[in-house]
Amino acid sequence: MGLEKSKIKAGTLRAHLETIEAQRQTSLKEITQLDGAARAYKGAAKSIGQLNVMIQNQLEAGELVMPEDPVALAKQLKLWVTRAQQMALNLADKMTADGLVAQGRMQGIEQTIGVVRKSIEIEEGKAVALESAADNPELASSARTRPVGARPGPSIAAGRKAEDAASRALVGERKGARARSRTRKRVKREGGTNGTDS
């Protein structure tokens, strides 16, 4: 019964390991995408900032000629460009925060993979030991759950580290969601008051 149980456990752990490794690949893709998005938003913010400088230079040089108080119109345009730049920077910051959360999740997944692999080794070792004991009647009376010279399984501390990493990743996701919510509310407030400034 113990041999079958060890083989079943090892098979189940292998199935879990495949699932976890698939999650790891998904997390790697997410990290790459978020990093690329953050770089794109920062590039957009830089471009908008250059446009803002150009408007300021034209305003100071008096090159901005428009009917009906061009200075007021240029100031309004500059205000909108500055706001557009800030929104792009906020999006970049969000992508950076999401990237950090994804990296934390990735660390938790990698620690879990290590623990599962170690558990598979232990269960396979138990199966080998039980098969050896079944083949050799002298060893059957003194069968061990671990082969001689094998190290014990993962410690309780290693399991706790994996749980802590997963917990930190979850807390990071929650903090990121709260920050995004605050940013959206601030943008709505500014957008609501900005719509009346004309």
**pLDDT per residue as tens, the chain (198 positions):** 577 887 888 888 888 888 888 888 888 888 888 888 888 878 788 777 877 787 788 778 877 666 578 788 788 778 778 888 888 888 788 888 888 888 888 888 889 888 888 888 888 888 888 777 777 766 555 545 566 666 766 777 777 787 777 777 777 767 777 777 777 777 777 775 444 443
pTM score, whole prediction: 0.45
Q: Is 191 exposed, middle or buried (0-12, 13-18, 19+ CB in 10 A)?
A: exposed
How many angstroms separate the Cα of 183 from the Cα of each of 49, 124, 141, 180, 194?
20, 51, 68, 5, 16
Q: Following DSSP, what letter does each residue of 40-108 receive, concatenated?
A: HHHHHHHHHHHHHHHHHHHHHHT----SS-HHHHHHHHHHHHHHHHHHHHHHHHHHHHHHHHHHHHHHH
Q: What is the CATH number of the domain that holds 63?
A: 1.10.287
Residue 72 CA to residue 49 CA, distance in Å, equals 20
Could you give the number of structural domains in the chain?
1
Q: Which two tokens stand for residue 96?
A: 């950076």
Give the residue numbers spanning the domain of 27.
2-194
